[in-house]
Structure 1
Amino acid sequence: MRASLTDAEGEANDESYDIAINGTGQTIAFTSDANNLVSGDTNGFADVFVRLQDSGATLRVSVATGGAQANSSSQTPDLSADGRFVVFESGATNFSASDNDAFWDIYWHDRQTGATELISVSTAGVKGNADSRRASVSDDGEVVVFWSNANNLVANDTNNAPDIFVHFLSSGETRRVSVATGGAQANAFSQNPEVSANGSFVVFESDASNLVAADDNLRKDVFRHNLLTGETVLVSRASDGTIGNGNSALPAVSAEGRYIAFESLATNLVAPDQNGTTRDIFRRDMLLDVTILVSIASDGSAGNENSEYAAISADGRLVAFHSDSTTFIVGHTNLCEEIYLRDLQANTLSLISHGTGGTVANGCSYLPEISDDGHFLTFESDASNLVANDNNGLNDVFRHENALLELARAVYLPLVTRP
């Protein structure tokens, strides 16, 4: 079904993208350039919206505490498990009294109280002095991670590179997490973090070579930082411990931090890597130290084009991604990106971005997200034949129900002792 709609099921009059889905799959957040999704949208900027699938209501959440609309663009949301809390980035200056510059900042919005809070601040409450981007929030809404170019969020930030930070809502503490186990700051860029649902682990990508010992591959790697112990470990390595020989990026983490999915150009993470230099999706089991290739057909054959942007279910069993490979589904004729779902327990690969009855999409589909139990997936697509009456000719947000998976919900409790 399509999610980027008005309360009256009307179509958006501009592009919708940047999706997040809550734990149950009933709340979907997204960015849209449309000005007709809610009444009174007159700011002329991209906004963040929430679609409540149960009621069909669409709400704008990139607003100030009193409800005033943003005076600049807002985008890239994430949701708590129950959908109550929304984090996003914004260039607006009217959400916080301390925001008097043009930098992108991270905000946290409580849909129950209507409060909007500035998150990209130091423990003392000082606003970041540069852009902060790509927020991710724990299931309980208490732990928010993001990357930032600011050098005033923590003391002794002198590396002149983007870092990963975590902000704890209850205490107001902000820490830098793109550090080595001993606390040494990274010697290069770190970006694109995601926090585990239980708030214990942060995964991210980094060009730094000093976060772990013997990181000598001169490539971007994926790391996991333990918020409880301070340990940082390298994720993008083969089962025998060999570090990937190509760039690895955009990690996604399971609820308790055990499984991490990521994309990589490395050819030595599994043997044999059948498709050479094509970007693939991998999953690392941090408990067993096992890395497997995810982006393969049900019969085990490799893709012939890039597979990117992994999303993972809470238990790590399901991994979604987009790919323009033509070898995953026999007879598949769409030469554009599609959404695929790999079930690592059943060892199957399913095409998700299709219309009712299996109709092949007539456009491209990107950037999947998956609910905690894997029962629902969301993605964006410019295809016009995935649902009936799609006549706007624009990129829309869709939700797909994974009917092959038995519905089984889980609750994950935070393991981090809140400071």
Structure 2
Amino acid sequence: MRSRSLRGLGVVALAAGVVLAGALPASAAVLPAGKIVPVSVDDPGSAFVGGEHPSISAEGRFVAFVSDSTLLPGANGSKQVYLRDLQSGAVTLISHRYDDKKAGGQAFSDHPAVSADGKFVAFTSMATDLVSATLKTNGVQQVYRWDSSTGAISLMSADSTIAVNAADRAVGDGIDISDDGKLVAFSTASSLEGKMTLNSEQVYVRIADSGYTMTISEDVTQSRGVRGRSDRPVLSPNGRWVAFESTSTELDPNASSRGAKQIYVQELRGPSVMVSQSAGLGGDKDSFDPDVSNGGAVSFATFATDLQSPAVTVGRAQAYVSDADGSLTLVSHIPGDPAAASNGTSTETSISGDGGTVLFVSEAADLAKTGGFRQVFQWTRSTNASMAVSVGVGTTAPGNAAAFDVQLSSDGLSAAFDSNATDLVSSPVAGGTRSESYAIGLQALVPPPVVPTPTPSDGAQGSASGAVAPAASGPAGGGGRLANTGADITGAGAMGAVGALLLAGGAASALFLRRKNERGTDRG
């Protein structure tokens, strides 16, 4: 995606062919709106088996999840990764041994991320028997990718050499995969591109087909990894953008991190831009749980009190969206007041590919009658309103226990999450003693009618007092900072991530300069 150096141009050549193929059409909705279905069930679907960390495909057909149940294929007492087909009901063992696809790996596997069409699943694992008998995994957690066309598993957390040396430092739990399955993001303190890591965890992206691993969390010279911990990377569905958390002070020269963990976004090989900031100053407290749309809009959660005016005084984390033009929208606001933060902690944000929908988890009693439990909420840009979606069967009331680990499909029409509730589905019966994984079809929230502006009278200029203010500022998909690049920011173009790579230099500069100019204006 980058043309800032010859190395960046090399990435373009190596990534050729990063095109989404074989995906179902976006219209092939699997779940009706408002419908919740169980995912972590046995093969007949007659009993819950315990599930966690679900990941859902673009149109909601496939859900990957983790379970240690003996009722699932390949069970051996360790957590394994599985893929559920919600159309057929079939469940497939993903984290299998290299020499036996019906046997789970000898140690735990976790944190799956599924591609748009369910063809690829990335996951973390401590198992040593997933790829070959000779591969040295160094006794630490690694990242792998499963390919449904062959059933083969490949190591992703490796350097770019022919020898394919695995990371010698453990990979973090937060990983992601692009919709086409060709890019995998992860973090580790290992040096995988020959650059110094300064013993700090760095963010990497692996181009699976070429075997090339690039450093994302670089200093401005692109010569080394940054000081401070960078982790929890997420990829936009089209693979163009990477967002991540970092405590580093070296990523964005135009913003001060103020000693707190901040959220950054960049195109591959482009400059990092801090999004959890206002007028060039990072939030006064930690930000976390980012996600990024195809156009570079970033959702995140933060304890910061000073990203908006009036300041947040409730002492609880809130959910925001930072659009590509630099505008910031409070997502977890109370009904009817877009500037008023809710009274409960809101975390775990997930944004749709077009940036129009954000899911988040909140216990706030002034968003819904949560009963003090975390629940999943759906915010829609067109209405600037949110509603609880982790609700009991046959009712609009939130479930009777906590919901969490939410992930929105890239088309914004379905989601997966975990819950301890026992009233989300009528069958099978959930025990409530462990979490189970679910999928849900989301409802379209209808925007309120627009009140027309009164007709001017007596030759006076028209008054805006009768007009309805926009529900949320900023472009839905991030067109503001990319409008002049000619880029396909929706990801719908046939070239997908490759087209984004070819336009990287100009778009990255537009992002950087737009943010810089916006900050300068704010400083007045």
TM range (shorter): over 0.9
* More moved, 58-67 vs 347-356: 58-67
Tell me the equivalent position of 1:21: 56
- Alpha-carbon deviation of 1:373? 1.9
Partners of 1:216 and 1:194 in 2: how far apart?
20
1:316 aligned onto 2:355: yes
Question: For 2:398 and 2:249, how far apart are their aligned partners in 1?
Answer: 44
- 2:263 is the alignment partner of 1:225: no
Deviation, 1:402, is 1.2
Check the 8 A contact 1:284/1:292 in 2, yes or no. yes
Q: Distance in 1 between matches of 2:220 and 2:335?
A: 39
Instruction: State yes or no: 1:150 paired with 2:190.
Output: yes
- Which residue, 283, 290, 297 being the options, matches 1:244? 283
Equivalent in the alignment of 1:53: 86
Q: Do the aligned partners of 2:383 and 2:445 also contact (CA within 8 Å) in 1? A: no
CA apart distance, 1:277: 2.6
Amino acid paired to 2:131: S
- Kept in 1: contact 2:392–2:400 (CA 8 A): no
The alignment status of 1:177 with 2:207, answered yes or no, reads no
Q: Return the offset for 1:132.
A: 1.2
From the superposition, tell whether residues 397 and 216 of structure 1 become closer, same or farther in structure 2 (CA, over 3 Å).
closer
Q: Which has the larger radius of gyration?
A: 2
Q: Which residue of 2 aligns with 1:302?
A: 341
Corresponding position of 2:136: 99
The answer to whether the aligner puts 1:31 opposite 2:66 as a matched pair is yes
Q: 2:152 aligns with which of 102, 106, 115?
A: 115
What is the deviation of 1:296?
A: 1.3
Deviation at 1:220, TM superposition (A): 0.5
CA distance in 2, matches of 1:24, 1:18: 18
Residue 38 of structure 2 aligns with which residue?
2
Aligned partner letter, 2:266? H
Distance change >3 Å, CA 241–CA 216, structure 1 → 2: closer
- TM-score, reference length from structure 1: 0.92
Q: Is the 8 A contact 2:57 2:410 kept in 1?
A: yes
| Farther-moved stretch of structure 1 (344-353 vs 207-216) | 207-216
Q: The residue matched to 2:316 in structure 1 has which SS? A: coil
Shift of 1:274: 4.0
Q: Partner letter of residue 211 of structure 1?
A: L
1:191 lines up with 2:231 in the alignment: yes
Contact 1:23/1:372, CA 8 A, preserved across alignment: yes
* Cα pair distance change 1:11/1:417, threshold 3 Å: farther
Aligned residues: 406
Q: Within 5 A, what are the aligned runs for 1:206-285? A: 206-213=246-253, 214-227=255-268, 229-238=269-278, 240-256=279-295, 258-285=296-323
Greater relative CO, 1 or 2 (CA 8 Å, sep 6+): 2
Q: Which has the higher strand share?
A: 1
User: In the TM superposition, what is the alpha-carbon distance from 1:64 to its structure 2 partner?
Assistant: 3.1
User: Could you say which residue in structure 2 is the equivalent of 1:136?
Assistant: 176
SS of 2:185's equivalent in the other structure is strand
User: 2 CA distance for matches of 1:34 and 1:297?
Assistant: 40
Partner SS state of residue 358, structure 1: coil
2:48 to 12, 25, 31: 12
Return 5+ residue gaps in structure 1 as ranges.
none
Q: TM-score, normalised by structure 2?
A: 0.74
| Cα distance in 1 between the residues matched to 2:130 and 2:257 | 43
Letter in 1 for 2:201: P
Tell me the CA shift for residue 24 of structure 1: 0.4
* 2:97 equivalent to 1:64: yes
Give SS of 2:110's match: strand
Cα distance 1:267–1:293, how it changes in 2: closer, same or farther (>3 A)? same
Residue 88 of structure 1 and its aligned partner are, at CA, apart by 0.2
SS of structure 2 residue aligned to 1:132: coil
Q: Distance in 1 between matches of 2:265 and 2:98?
A: 34
Within 5 Å, give how 1:348-387 maps onto structure 2. 348-356=385-393, 357-387=395-425
CA separation of 1:100 and 1:197: change in aligned 2, threshold 3 A: closer
Q: Deviations over 1:25-55 (max 9, x none)?
A: 11101111212123x42x2100111110111
Q: Does 1:416 align with 2:501?
A: yes
Separation in structure 2 between the aligned mates of residue 74 and residue 405 of structure 1, nearest angstrom: 37
- Per-residue deviation at 1:156? 2.9
**Does residue 398 in structure 1 map to residue 431 in structure 2?**
no
Q: Whole-Å Cα distance in 1 between the matches of residues 239 and 349 of structure 2?
A: 20
Query: Could you tell me which amino acid in structure 2 is paired with residue 145 of structure 1?
Result: A
Contact 1:178 1:225 survives alignment (8 Å): no
Farther off after superposition, 274-283 or 106-115? 274-283
Q: Amino acid of the residue matched to residue 47 of structure 2?
A: E
- 1:12–1:37: 8 Å Cα contact kept in structure 2? no
Aligned partners of 2:256 and 2:281 also within 8 Å? no
**Per-residue deviation, 1:370:** 0.8
> 1:203-251, CA deviations, whole angstroms, 9 ceiling, x for partnerless residues?
1100011112252501111111221x5211111112x443211111121
